[in-house]
Structures are given as C-alpha cells and as structure tokens.
Amino acid sequence: MSAEIELSDVRQVFRVRGDEGREVQEFVALDGLDLTVREGEFLTLVGPSGCGKSTILDLISGLSTPSGGSVKVGGRQVKEPGLDRGFVFQQYTLLPWRTALANIEFALEAKGGLSKAKRRERALEYLDLVGLSDFANRFPHELSGGMKQRVAIARSLSYEPEVLLMDEPFGALDAQTRERLQEELVGIWRRTGTTIVFITHDIEEAVFLGQRVAVMSSRPGRIEAVIDIELDRAATDEDIRSTAAFSHYRHQIWSLLRPEGVHRGAHLEEVHRVA
C-alpha cells in the first residue's frame, strides 16, 4: 500500500522567547512551501541545517499542525498521527528489554487486530525482509548499529503503512554500513512499494536513493527545486556512484545548495564533503 503526499502553501511559525528572556517572538520555519510526493515514490529531501526538513516530516506524520496551508496524505487532511504513516528516526528507538522479534511484535500489538500467532508470523516475515531472521532472539545491545536500524525499519513496515518517513536514519552509521543499508533500503522499497520521504544531509545518499531529490532553501524553508534522478540502477557491472550520470546529479544539487553556503554563511556538510 502507498499514498500520495501533498503539501500546499504550507507555513509553519513557532513562538520562541528572545535572548535573555525577552518577549516572545515569531520564528518562521516554513513559508509558502509546495511539495507533492507521488504514490509509491522514493523522494529524498536535502537542504541547509535549520531549513525545516524535519518540520516537514512532523507535519506529514501529524505530530505538528501547520500554521497555514494544507497537508494531505492519500487525499485526506492530516490532523493527527496515524498508522497509515510510519516513522524511522536517526536514533534506533528500540525497547532494550525486548528482542528484535518482540520489538516488531510490539508495533503489531499497538495496531491490534492480529492474534499472537499472526503477530509472530508477520514479525518474522519483516525480519526476513531486512535480512535478520537469524537474529530474532537477540536484544538490542547484542546488535550492531546497522542491525538496530534494520529492526527499526522492519518494525515501521510491519503494520504496512502507506507512507514511511525517514529522518536521517543512517546518519550515525559508518560509511560502509551506510552504503550497504542504502542498497538494502532500495530493495525493500521496490518489494513493498511504500511511499518514502527520506531526509539526509548527504548529497550522494540523496542521489543514490531518490527517484527525485527535493532541494530546500534556507529559512524560511521552501522547495528550491525538484530534480528527477534517472540512473541505470539495473546495471550490476559497475558502482552506480562512480558513473558520470551520478556525478552530474551530485554536482547539480551541490550547485543549488552552494550559493547559500558560500554567500549566506550557512553551514552545509555537503559543501565541505563534496568540494
């Protein structure tokens, strides 16, 4: 199952206290933001620190409501969190007293409607999907960081949400584990067809994962451009990251971000890493 996501003229304003306890001021995080994520699409989202990327996920998930504009999932106005939307954070958020299998079963318990035997069957199915069948009875402290994140992904997919929201889920992992999980995530997305919105600070990660890459401006956040990524992902005789087409997209996105980093002084991890 999957669903379209539509954000129309979205504005998000927070009220914050000024320096040294001064009067409350308005902080405009998003203003006039329009973005459509197609049903079943894998869209990645990049932009300067503080531009409102995570705020967008909060709005889609229903954890926050917009100050203005409209947020819809599957044609329905988002008013609160729901099981039609799954969320994977950078931190693993696993229950330490439950095994990998039991962590997934916990999500299915919360959803309800399945017998204990069916919950176990479903949990095992999704552990197998992320390649962790042999680690079903391990506790989180017995798993590597990459394994923990795979359990978190399996847990979010187990109740079959229409949309999966991912907020820098691989940011804390080493480079090799990160690349391996990127490849596995693409495979999982192809098998499930879930609509995915994935936030990252890494341009290469955005290009590798996304069918399209949405590039945000600095605060107040808006969508600066949406880049279609057309790569031959079926080719197995070379690393797609080393191709000329991949380099072209990486440079195109870097160029869109670079003026903000150089001329406005915004700190962009992508600029320093790619330049």
DSSP 64-92: S--SEEEEEETTEEP-S--TTEEEE-SS-
What pLDDT is attached to residue 259? 60
Could you tell me the sign of the dihedral formed by the alpha carbons of 214, 219, 222, 225, in that order? negative
What pLDDT is attached to residue 159? 87
Q: Write out the residue limits of the CATH 3.40.50.300 domain(s) in the chain.
A: 5-84+163-274
pTM: 0.86
Task: Look at residue 266 and give its three-state secondary structure.
Answer: coil
What pLDDT is attached to residue 251? 94
What pLDDT is attached to residue 18? 63
With CA atoms as reference, report the closest residue to 220 among 12, 72, 36, 23.
12
CATH number 3.40.50.10090 is the correct assignment for the domain at 5-84+163-274: no
What pLDDT is attached to residue 216? 93
Q: In this structure, what DSSP letter does residue 201 have?
A: S
Could you tell me the sign of the dihedral formed by the alpha carbons of 90, 198, 202, 215, in that order? negative
What pLDDT is attached to residue 21? 62
Q: Which residues of the chain, if any, have pLDDT below 50?
A: 260-275
What pLDDT is attached to residue 97? 94
According to DSSP, the β-strands at 76-77 and 68-73 are: antiparallel
What pLDDT is attached to residue 15? 78
What pLDDT is attached to residue 112? 81
What pLDDT is attached to residue 268? 38
What pLDDT is attached to residue 267? 41
What pLDDT is attached to residue 264? 41
What pLDDT is attached to residue 64? 92
What pLDDT is attached to residue 173? 83
Reported as type and span, the H/E element at residue 149 is helix 145-158
30 within 8 A of 10, measured Cβ to Cβ: yes
